[in-house]
Structure 1
């Protein structure tokens, strides 16, 4: 059930990004929750500042360090639902 809700949230987020002007900050927060939910804690080395997009994505993921994948899935679902209201 939770996996179905997580997948649905992913589909909703993809649709939202393609139809609304979702801010980079909001997209990064969703990315961080998604990566934590699907991979777990960031274990790779932080990209250098020369790759600012990759660095920002890594930082958003790293901020969720220590959260369980189940917690992160629920936070991702909650965040996508907030965005759907915000960008409706």
Structure 2
């Protein structure tokens, strides 16, 4: 099981600290994403071949943040 980690991503040319907490569930590995000023959301590997958000939070978050976090997760999990 991966450990918690934090990374900085850029959104609208501003650095944002992202705290990632992995969760192992019976249907796979999920990542809890915490960013100050935004609601907590979860991401998992999707059929699209990348990490994608799950749940209703997708409607309230800017999609550029989701893409930035997805790219960061891919880089961190492929190490």
- For the criterion TM > 0.5, the same-fold answer is no
TM-score, normalized by length of structure 1? 0.32
Higher helix share: 1
Higher relative contact order (CA 8 A, sep 6+): 1
TM-score, normalized by length of structure 2? 0.35
Structure of larger gyration radius: 1
Higher strand share: 2
